[in-house]
Amino acid sequence: MFAPQLLGFVSPSINWWALLPQMILLGAALLILLLSSLAPRRSSTTFATVTTLSAAITAYFVSIGLWYDVEREGASSSIASAFGVDGFSIFFTMLILIALAITALLSHHYLDREGIDPPEFHALLLCSAAGAIVMAAANDLVVMFLGLEALSIAIYVMIAMHSRRSEARESAVKYFVLGAFSSAFLLYGIALTYGATGSTNLVHVREYLDAVVFRDQHMLMAAMGLLLVGLSFKVAAAPFHFWAPDVYQGAPSPVTGWMASIAKAAGFAALLRIFFAAFASHDSDWSPVVAVLAFVTLVVGAVMAILQTDVKRMLAFSSISHAGYVLVAVQSASNDGTAAALFYLFTYTLMVLGTFAVVGAMGSDDDHPLTRYAGLGRSKPLIALSLTALLLAQAGVPTTSGFIAKFQVISAAVSNQSYFLAGAAMVTAVIGAFMYLRIIMTMYVVDDDESGPSPVWHWTTSTVVLGTVIFTMVLGLVPQFLIEFAEQAVPILIRG
Partner 1 sequence: MVELVWLIPALPLIGFLILLLVGSRIGEPRAGWVATTAAAGSFLAAVVVLAGLLGKDAHSGDRSYELVLFQWLPSGSLKVEAGFLVDPLSITMALFVTGVGALIHLYSIGYMHGDPKYSKFFLYLNLFLFSMLMLVFGNNLVVTFLGWEGVGACSYFLISFWHRRESAATAGKKAFVTNRVGDWGFMVATFAIWSALGTVTYTEIASSPAMSAAAGTAVSLLLFVAAAGKSAQLPLYVWLPDAMEGPTPVSAMVHAATMVTSGVYLLVRMNGLLTDDALLVIAVIGAATALFAALSAVAQHDIKKVLAYSTISQLGFMFLAIGSGAYVAAIFHVITHAFFKALLFLGSGSVIHGMHDEQDMRKMGALRALMPITAGTFIVGWLAIAGVPPFSGFWSKDEILLAAWEQKNIGPLLWFVGLVTALLTAYYMTRQVILVFFGEQRWDEDVHPHESSWTMTLPLCLLAGAAIVGGGINLPLVKEWLVLEHFLEPIFAHPHHFSSGTSTKVVLAVISVVIGVLGITIATLAWLFRRIPTEQLEPEFLENAMYVDSTYARVVSGPGTSSFQKAADFDKGVVDGAVNGVGAAVRKLGQLIQPAQSGYMRNYATGVAIGALMILVVLAWGLLL
Residues binding partner 1 (CB under 8 A): 174, 177-178, 181-182, 185, 217-218, 221-222, 224-226, 228-229, 232-233, 238-240, 242-243, 245-246, 285-286, 288-289, 292-293, 299-300, 302-304, 306-307, 407, 411, 431, 434, 477-478, 480, 483
Nearer to partner 1, 286 or 471 (CB): 286
Nearer to partner 1, 293 or 439 (CB): 293
CB 354 within 8 Å of CB 464: yes
Nearer to partner 1, 103 or 388 (CB): 388
The number of angstroms, rounded, from the C-alpha of 86 to the middle of its chain's C-alpha atoms is 19
Task: Give the nearest distance from C-beta 356 to partner 1 in angstroms.
Answer: 21
CA 14-148-83 angle, 5° bins: 20
Nearer to partner 1, 289 or 441 (CB): 289
Nearest Cα to Cα of residue 318 among 385, 401, 257: 257
Task: Give the nearest distance from C-beta 149 to partner 1 in angstroms.
Answer: 18
Computed over its alpha carbons, how large is the radius of gyration of the chain? 22
Q: CA 66, CA 69: separation in Å to the nearest integer?
A: 5
**Dihedral (Cα; 378, 380, 382, 384), 10-degree rounding:** -70
Nearer to partner 1, 106 or 223 (CB): 223
Q: CA 26, CA 100: separation in Å to the nearest integer?
A: 13
Task: Give the nearest distance from C-beta 388 to partner 1 in angstroms.
Answer: 17
Task: Give the nearest distance from C-beta 206 to partner 1 in angstroms.
Answer: 19
Nearer to partner 1, 245 or 354 (CB): 245
Distances (CA, A) of 202 to 205, 277, 443, 450: 5, 8, 49, 60
Of the chain, the end-to-end C-alpha distance in Å amounts to: 38
Q: CA 172, CA 226: separation in Å to the nearest integer?
A: 24
CB 193 within 8 Å of CB 223: yes
Under DSSP, is residue 343 helix (H, G, I), strand (E, B) or coil? helix
Task: Give the nearest distance from C-beta 5 to partner 1 in angstroms.
Answer: 47
CB 116 within 8 Å of CB 62: no
Q: CA 357, CA 391: separation in Å to the nearest integer?
A: 13
Nearer to partner 1, 94 or 304 (CB): 304
Task: Give the nearest distance from C-beta 259 to partner 1 in angstroms.
Answer: 16
Under DSSP, is residue 140 helix (H, G, I), strand (E, B) or coil? strand
Task: Give the nearest distance from C-beta 428 to partner 1 in angstroms.
Answer: 10
Nearer to partner 1, 366 or 447 (CB): 366
CB 196 within 8 Å of CB 223: yes
Nearer to partner 1, 143 or 159 (CB): 159
Nearer to partner 1, 361 or 412 (CB): 412
Task: Give the nearest distance from C-beta 130 to partner 1 in angstroms.
Answer: 27
CB 408 within 8 Å of CB 342: no
Task: Give the nearest distance from C-beta 140 to partner 1 in angstroms.
Answer: 23
Q: CA 260, CA 257: separation in Å to the nearest integer?
A: 5
CB 346 within 8 Å of CB 269: no
Task: Give the nearest distance from C-beta 433 to partner 1 in angstroms.
Answer: 12
For helices 87-114 and 335-361, the axis angle rounded to 10 degrees is: 10
Nearest Cα to Cα of residue 101 among 471, 464, 347, 387: 464
Task: Give the nearest distance from C-beta 493 to partner 1 in angstroms.
Answer: 23
Q: CA 324, CA 334: separation in Å to the nearest integer?
A: 17
Nearest Cα to Cα of residue 52 among 108, 109, 121, 122: 122
Nearer to partner 1, 29 or 475 (CB): 475
